[in-house]
Amino acid sequence: MRRQASGFGLHASGFRLRSGQPARFRSAFFRVFLWSVIALAALVLRLIGLRYGLPAVYNPDEVAIMSRALAFAKGDLNPHNFLYPTFYFYVLFAWEALTALLAVATRAVASFGAFQREFFLDPTRVFVAGRLLTALLGTLTVLATGMLGTRVGGRFVGIAAAMLLAVAPLHVLNSHYVKHDVPVTFVIVLAYLAYERLWRGSDLPPKGGSHESRKDNAGSYSSLSQSHGFRLQAEGRLVAGAAVTGVAFSTHYYTIFLVIPLAWAIIHSSRSTREAITRLAMAAFISAVVFFLLSPFLLVEPVTALRDIRANRQIVLDRAVAKLGYLASAARYAKLLLFDTVGFPAAILGLAGIFTGMLREPTRTAWLLAFTIPFLLFISSTYPASRYLVPLTPFVALFAAITIESVWKAQAGRRLATTVLLVIAIIAASLNSVRADLFIRRTDTRTLALDYINGHVPSGATILTQPYSVPLAPTADVLREAVQRSGREMPKKTELQIAAEPYPKPAFRLIYLGRGLDTDKVYLPYDQLGGSDPLRAVRAEHVAFVVLKRYNDSDPATLPFLTALAREGRRMAVFSPYRDALAARDAGARPEPFLHNTDARIDASLERPGPAVEIWQLDGPGS
């Protein structure tokens, strides 16, 4: 089973300096300076626009994740929900606890109770802290990718890969969200760093060699104790690789595909089939132990876990099959991968890098793709969401760097061509990243609608709206009414909202279209908006105003309600995400609005994030 380990042979001579202490010092100083610049650029791109939308949170996934993490403050570390594993929630909770401690210590808030109340009244501090954690992990991913590139292909490949990932549009944008995708990408790269050391385990001396038959790197004979140390080192690499795999599993379920490169690295570095089987079993055991240590309540509530995993599959997989089909979904992912991950030039260079790697080191290249290809095939069966491609961005950057380095080694015009390729790829990606940062900072259509409603609709009026629409403040009475209708106990967060002093003004009696599980919301199901009088149920709730999110495709089930609303209501205002030239166009000719949690791209025709928002009046004042 033991093989001779080798790399791509991509070490660039351009970074070598003449021997001597001053030259080595200058070289080390230059490397530190260069890596510092890369890290700083990566961090700045991920910090610009970090406060977008706040105090409103327009990415519904952020709300769900943050709420679940902060719920641990009640003293129960069981999330009672397993759509995701638990480790990231624990890390996020610990990070927010440190944020609260710092805020109290610096007197930014009066007490921990005041910090808790902020989440329900103005969650800016809480979400900025959570997004900052993601931005920092995203920056660390850039450095880790550089380390992986250096180990795989040499210093030039490492630096180029880090540069490309630092400005990669998809990674930069998703580093602004309290989501799993950027943190788990960091763990995936750490896993490959551990696997690469495990892969190189085949360089260690064979077991059982005699004192006379083994030589060390300096040419002198090794002792048996040295051989024993080598074997301990090899097993330490195995433990590290298996442990970080367990961490990845406990961060996101879809990292299950890491078992392929892990197993391959173990087999590659083993000296016999029997040893490979033993080490594979050991790795499986360690990974499972770490996984359940970091997500322990999966064992406590296995039925709930299976239910939630099944529900997640229905949301992510079954919906894609029913609505799009595998080929259509895969085609949309291919487009996103080509244009939105690291920029179009770098993506093309990444494809070329795969062919270059296959020609130079097919086994090693296939091993680097052992996670990415199965993962891509899997997510291609999901309902398209660009964030699912985030774990692929370090690998695209890495293979793009391999292509650039191969041009560097060409005989004719190597440095000029390499510089041009690298600069084009970095500039193209940087422009897209800066554009995305500036775009999400623009005022969302829902914020514009909020300002209009607060200024034109009387406080206390009944408004029919939708979840994740305009962030209107509910009255204390409607919160009590919702809890009473649900028949459940009043949640702690609702108690805190009702007890707020001073209470937010203006506030409205909010009715939400659709069905939901939130105890503090009054819902009006869509199936009550049909028949001969689609507005009958709306009038029964004494609705005076309607706030609607509009997209490019309409749900046929809502057409009777929309038709009646247009006939009997008065449209007071419209807030469009499009530039004036496109706002009046037919919906089919417009790109999708950008909503933070879909596969919609930031199109040049979009002026701001958010859906089109319409405000209608049915009854009562409102001028």
CB 254 within 8 A of CB 377: no
Q: Which has the higher per-residue pLDDT, 587 or 490?
A: 490
User: CA-CA distance, 493 to 119, in Å (whole number)?
Assistant: 9
- pLDDT tens per residue, range 390-405: 999 999 999 999 999 8
User: What is the average pLDDT across 176-191?
Assistant: 97
Name the 3-class secondary structure at 614.
Answer: strand
Name the 3-class secondary structure at 617.
Answer: strand
User: CA-CA distance, 488 to 407, in Å (whole number)?
Assistant: 66
Q: Is the pLDDT of residue 226 over 70?
A: no
- pLDDT tens per residue, range 405-439: 888 776 555 677 788 889 999 999 999 999 999 99
Q: Tell me the DSSP string of 547-610.
A: EEEE-SS--GGGHHHHHHHHHH-EEEEEE-SB-HHHHTS-GGGSPPPP-SSSS----TTB-SSS
| pLDDT confidence of residue 412 | 55
Confidence of residue 473 (pLDDT cuts 50, 70, 90): very high
- pLDDT tens per residue, range 603-615: 889 999 999 999 9
Q: Is the pLDDT of residue 475 over 50?
A: yes
- Whose tokens are 């199936």? That residue is 527
| pLDDT confidence of residue 587 | 55
| pLDDT confidence of residue 246 | 97
Q: Is the pLDDT of residue 282 over 60?
A: yes
pTM: 0.89
Q: Is the pLDDT of residue 446 over 60?
A: yes
| pLDDT confidence of residue 10 | 42
User: CA-CA distance, 342 to 396, in Å (whole number)?
Assistant: 7
Q: Is the pLDDT of residue 214 over 50?
A: no
Instruction: Report the percentage of the chain scoring pLDDT > 70.
Output: 85
Q: Is the pLDDT of residue 207 over 60?
A: no
- pLDDT tens per residue, range 13-37: 333 333 345 666 567 788 889 999 9
- Whose tokens are 């080929």? That residue is 327
Question: Which residues, 6+ apart, have CB-to-CB distance to 222 below 8 Å?
Answer: 205, 211, 214, 215, 216
The average confidence (pLDDT) of the chain is 86
Residue 353, amino acid: G
| pLDDT confidence of residue 487 | 87
Most confidently predicted of 7-16, 376-385, 389-398 = 389-398
DSSP state of 206: P
Confidence of residue 490 (pLDDT cuts 50, 70, 90): confident
User: CA-CA distance, 422 to 428, in Å (whole number)?
Assistant: 10
Least Cα distance to 173 among 296, 343, 292 occurs for: 343
User: CA-CA distance, 34 to 592, in Å (whole number)?
Assistant: 40
Q: Is the pLDDT of residue 589 over 80?
A: no
Q: Is the pLDDT of residue 458 over 70?
A: yes
Neighbours of 536 (CB within 10 A): 13
Q: Is the pLDDT of residue 352 over 90?
A: yes
Q: Which has the higher per-residue pLDDT, 117 or 544?
A: 544
Confidence of residue 219 (pLDDT cuts 50, 70, 90): very low
| pLDDT confidence of residue 25 | 58
Least confident interval from 2-6, 174-178, 595-599: 2-6
User: CA-CA distance, 287 to 238, in Å (whole number)?
Assistant: 11
Most confidently predicted of 125-129, 203-207, 512-516, 517-521 = 125-129
User: CA-CA distance, 266 to 168, in Å (whole number)?
Assistant: 32
| pLDDT confidence of residue 225 | 53
User: CA-CA distance, 177 to 180, in Å (whole number)?
Assistant: 9
| pLDDT confidence of residue 195 | 96
- pLDDT tens per residue, range 153-177: 999 999 999 999 999 999 999 999 9
Most distant CA pair in the chain, distance: 98
SS3 string of 27-88? Answer: HHHHHHHHHHHHHHHHHHHHHCCCCCCCCCCCCHHHHHHHHHHHHHHHCCCCCCCCCCCCHH
